[in-house]
Structure 1
Amino acid sequence: MFVGTGSDVGKSVLNAAFCRIFMQDGYSPAPFKAQNMALNSFVTPDGLEIGRAQAVQAEACGIPCSVEMNPVLLKPSGDMVSQVVLNGKPAGNKSASKYFLETNRDALFAEVMKSYHRLAERYNPIVIEGAGSISEMNLWDKDITNMRVAEAADAATILVADIDRGGVFASVYGSIQLLPPNQRKLIKGVLINKFRGDESLFHEGRRMLEEISGVPVLGVIPWFRDIFIEQEDSVVLDHLKNQPQKGKINIAVVRLKHMANFTDFDSLRHVPEVNLYYAESEDALTAADIIILPGSKNTIADMEMLRHRGLESVLMRLHQNGKPIYGICGGFQMMGKIIQDPDGVEGNVSQTKGLGILPVETVFKGKKKTEQCRFEFLNDDNVKGSGYEIHMGVTKVDGNPLCRLNNGENDGCFLNEKTWGTYIHGVFDNASVIREILRQVNPDIEINFSLRDLKEEGFNKLAGLVREKVDLERIYGFIRK
């Protein structure tokens, strides 16, 4: 099990690394995270919703993802409210206080451990990921995802610390010493992550850290940017370049407060001819060749935010001037005439006007649609691929649909080649769709791109780096006992 001294220390990525290493070495691993809080989610083959990180880790294991890998998912829809997804299905919206103080934590923990045991019957080893920091003492009695899981699974637990943020000695020592003795003994080692510079300069520090913590430092992982692994947390967006570049096709994704599934744009980021950035200003949108409105966990709130910032009129002006604008899920809904939420599915605002670019109207319903799909554009049967849907809105289209799904249903709305919207997440993971939108800027462009190959290369490079920097013999010693 990988636990952390804090959030964003790299647990998810290291979990994926060991999933791939164990698979390469002939084992049958599977990931597990009891509770995940993220707006990046994915749909399992049987139509259930889990955190994107566990879907990525399942890919690293070479297996299909399943709901047992992440039985509880919290999707924030506001500053104090999250949608609770239990065993892949929505279980209502709850405030933080209600979720932590009024939920039967023992019953919830029993439920997540059922998922763990179902996984453990089919796979070995189970590679468990904790959440945030293990030293939040005020949350220990409510814990269903950190050391309580480690105890129940009797997991060899490895503490991950981010040296780049500073304070690594205090965070490692404090995290271990604050634990009750019965949990402290489960910590078998420490991994130092995101190290920059000459590792030999940390040899003395490594020795000192082992001395004060009482556990070995199992490895020092360098900071890297040249390995592609899909990220779970939108905090990664803060590290991306957010400006147009000359000589590239500039694609601006409108940055929304409640943006969901930002991994929809990972493929575009890795097309050599493309510079993708996240835009929050009129200048950044105006400089783009293509604009994309992404998904949102609170579409009405984000539409009103665009209006408040003055970006609604900017988007309308750019559309009228012929700039390509595409919408994904919540972005598709925002491109329509009106968005209604009479039952308060997303929040307290019952309706708002959309941009009015597409002839569609959306009403939120209590039932969430979660399906994987294959599609084919109706205006061009050479544009096709696969993706997945996650939405609670039902959209009436008074115009042409964008594509036909493999189940016979239509999806989205097509105004013209430069203006359309779809409910399909992952639509830009398909080379034919990328080629279609880029040809609106450069008609002669050709695309040779495979997301699957990019992912496999990333998993293997990451596994190779971790093998080089970590004491694998000791880690195998833990799991063979």
Structure 2
Amino acid sequence: MTKVFTLMVQGTTSDAGKSTLVAGLARALVRRGLRVAPFKPQNMALNSAVTADGGEIGRAQALQAVAARVAPHTDFNPVLLKPSSDIGAQVIIHGRPAANLSARDYHNYKPTAMAAVMQSWKRLTDAYECVLVEGAGSPAEINLRDRDIANMGFAEAADVPVILVADIDRGGVFAHLVGTLDLLSPSEQARVKGFVINRFRGDIGLLQSGLDWLEARTGRPVFGVLPYLHGLFLDAEDALADATVDGGGEVPVLRVVAPVYPRISNHTDLDALRLHPQVDFRWVGPGQEMPPADLIVMPGSKSVQSDLAWLREQGWDQAILKHLRYGGKVVGICGGFQMLGRSLGDPHGVEGRADTVSGLGVLDMATVLEREKQLENVHGTLCFGGDPVVSGYEIHMGVSSGPALQRPALMLAGDRPDGALSADGQVMGSYVHGLFDSPAALDALLRWAGAEGALDRVDLAARREADLDRLADSIESAIDIDALMRAAAS
């Protein structure tokens, strides 16, 4: 197979639009008939996905695989860092946990990580016509330049052309682009083929003088200016998605709240609730009082014991008990499910100090964290509401047991029970991420939580596909893709 080109998208800041641009370009190039693979050498995120080959990668690369219409694979994100504290992280190599390291120890580990990155890179460039690479953060972070594998360190090692993207909505876009370029070494500067400006709103004519100045100042083209796409839904890489969604004037039929733990993970599980026009959904952060709600959703956590302690500090333990006394419903997903039990043990110190702590005690079960992580794509049915189909994935190190599990919440393929539903029907827990994603399951869960009357259909997969096409349309309109491909090949 003849490779058409490779291209790396680096950003002047975090959230500049790297993930979005790679996803949109992937969809645009696939529509031209090319076979495309996304690639992020190193990602740091607590939102992850299970791949077709049974590993774990960052959620953004799974989304980019959807954009490229290929099955997610561990080679798309060979190194994933999942922070467990402010100075430490679980290191995932080729989809599997390799170590728990401090930031300093990981710096010494980087040559090993880089070897894994280059192995994946070779496999992808041998198999695909186009490989679109996403950087991490900014290449101008001086303190991270030594042994860099995420930005220019990788680009130099793999000899990949680069474009810089900057977010004009934040202001200072010209300073961001020029300053980033100036902080690169001469060989790295030579690798930068041009720029893309993201999230512009207003009269493009008023921006033209700045674009002309930027091209004259740097000697590099601006390949395009992407408009601000209001209401664009793409799975968040890590940052918490805004809970505010325009309901189109519909009256909410259900009030839903979810706590924002310090180590919240896979919060994309709640996207279907957040985007539902008839659901009043709110994240509740530190120091905020829990508002009245019909349903409390406990999302996943990378550090369950410490996040459970944080919940108690915030008064959530008493708020949940009060909520249940007044007839409210509670759903726990993965780590949130584990918190609902009687106890949580970590005998091997998998997520921190080896210890056993009391859970919230609303489900009669106990959980022990094991050394091996369970990673699996699953499907099955809810055990109520007409047995609607659920498709999702499991990512956890905890094994739960106890009487509560004798009333499972789901029945997975192979007659495997999952989760628990309390005898009074008020509390439900599951290890399955994606619990709310299918339209039928979402409808059943909303009705279980108290919603009545006609419910709008929210199909997350269909919405994702439509917005990827909308993004690709915007990119094809705003960016000269042929010029970009020629520059990348030069």
Displacement of 1:248 in angstroms is 4.1
Who is 1:79 aligned against? 86
Q: Distance in 2 between matches of 1:51 and 1:322?
A: 37
Q: What letter is aligned with 2:409? A: L
Residues 428-472 of structure 1: per-residue CA shift (max 9 Å, x gap): 101222112221322333452322211110000001111111122
Deviates more, 1:392-401 or 1:282-291: 282-291
Displacement of 1:409 in angstroms is 2.1
Q: What letter is aligned with 2:408? A: P
Kept after mapping to 1: 8 A contact 2:243/2:282: no
Q: Distance in 1 between matches of 2:23 and 2:280?
A: 27
Kept after mapping to 2: 8 A contact 1:376/1:385: yes
Displacement of 1:348 in angstroms is 1.7
Q: How does 1:265-414 map to 2 (within 5 A)?
A: 265-280=270-285, 285-348=290-353, 350-380=355-385, 382-399=387-404, 400-414=407-421
Q: Distance in 1 between matches of 2:48 and 2:363?
A: 26
Displacement of 1:377 in angstroms is 2.2
Q: Distance in 1 between matches of 2:245 and 2:158?
A: 38
Who is 2:170 aligned against? 165
Q: What letter is aligned with 1:115? A: S
State the Cα RMSD in Å.
1.9
2:15 aligned with 1:8: yes
Q: Distance in 2 between matches of 1:51 and 1:436?
A: 29
Q: How does 1:203-282 map to 2 (within 5 A)?
A: 203-237=208-242, 247-280=252-285
Percent of aligned pairs sharing the same letter: 39
Kept after mapping to 2: 8 A contact 1:125/1:479: no
Partner of 2:348, secondary structure, is coil
Kept after mapping to 1: 8 A contact 2:392/2:434: yes
Who is 1:445 aligned against? 454
Q: How does 1:98-247 map to 2 (within 5 A)?
A: 98-100=105-107, 102-103=108-109, 105-237=110-242, 247=252
Displacement of 1:380 in angstroms is 4.9
Who is 1:468 aligned against? 477
Residues 195-235 of structure 1: per-residue CA shift (max 9 Å, x gap): 23222211111111112222111111122222221121224
Q: Distance in 2 between matches of 1:80 and 1:407?
A: 41
Displacement of 1:154 in angstroms is 2.6
Deviates more, 1:68-77 or 1:400-409: 400-409
Q: Distance in 1 between matches of 2:311 and 2:45?
A: 22
Q: Distance in 1 between matches of 2:213 and 2:373?
A: 52
Partner of 1:428, secondary structure, is coil
Instruction: Classify 1:240/1:146 alpha carbon distance in 2 versus 1 (closer, same or farther; 3 Å).
Output: farther
Residues 128-183 of structure 1: per-residue CA shift (max 9 Å, x gap): 00010101223222211211222233322110112222222222112112211111
Kept after mapping to 2: 8 A contact 1:434/1:447: no
Who is 2:44 aligned against? 37
2:63 aligned with 1:53: no
Partner of 1:476, secondary structure, is helix
Displacement of 1:284 in angstroms is 5.5
Q: How does 1:412-431 map to 2 (within 5 A)?
A: 412-415=419-422, 416-431=424-439
Instruction: Classify 1:109/1:240 alpha carbon distance in 2 versus 1 (closer, same or farther; 3 Å).
Output: farther
Q: What letter is aligned with 1:2? A: V
Kept after mapping to 1: 8 A contact 2:243/2:283: no
Displacement of 1:408 in angstroms is 3.1
Deviates more, 1:194-203 or 1:61-70: 194-203
Q: What letter is aligned with 1:160? A: V
Q: What letter is aligned with 2:269? A: D
Who is 2:71 aligned against? 64
Q: What letter is aligned with 1:408? A: D
Displacement of 1:280 in angstroms is 3.3
Residues 268-311 of structure 1: per-residue CA shift (max 9 Å, x gap): 22222112220237986342221100000011111111111112
With the length of structure 2 as denominator, give the TM-score of the two structures. Answer: 0.93
Kept after mapping to 2: 8 A contact 1:435/1:445: no
Partner of 2:290, secondary structure, is helix
Kept after mapping to 1: 8 A contact 2:39/2:61: yes
Deviates more, 1:439-448 or 1:158-167: 439-448
Deviates more, 1:174-183 or 1:306-315: 174-183
Kept after mapping to 1: 8 A contact 2:252/2:280: no
Q: Distance in 2 between matches of 1:251 and 1:298?
A: 23
Q: Distance in 2 between matches of 1:240 and 1:452?
A: 18
Residues 116-136 of structure 1: per-residue CA shift (max 9 Å, x gap): 111112112100000101012
Q: What letter is aligned with 1:449? A: V
Q: What letter is aligned with 1:267? A: A
Kept after mapping to 1: 8 A contact 2:9/2:134: yes
Q: What letter is aligned with 1:454? A: R
Instruction: Classify 1:122/1:28 alpha carbon distance in 2 versus 1 (closer, same or farther; 3 Å).
Output: same
Q: Distance in 1 between matches of 2:350 and 2:242?
A: 27
Correspondent of 1:457 among 456, 462, 466: 466
Q: What letter is aligned with 2:475? A: V
Who is 1:433 aligned against? 441
Displacement of 1:386 in angstroms is 0.7
Kept after mapping to 2: 8 A contact 1:431/1:447: no
Q: Distance in 1 between matches of 2:278 and 2:351?
A: 37
Instruction: Classify 1:23/1:15 alpha carbon distance in 2 versus 1 (closer, same or farther; 3 Å).
Output: same
Who is 1:477 aligned against? 486
Give the gaps of 5 or more residues in structure 1: none
Q: What letter is aligned with 1:441? A: G
Q: What letter is aligned with 2:413? A: N
Who is 2:3 aligned against? none
Displacement of 1:238 in angstroms is 8.0
Instruction: Classify 1:349/1:306 alpha carbon distance in 2 versus 1 (closer, same or farther; 3 Å).
Output: farther
Q: Distance in 2 between matches of 1:237 and 1:226?
A: 11
Give the gaps of 5 or more residues in structure 2: 1-7
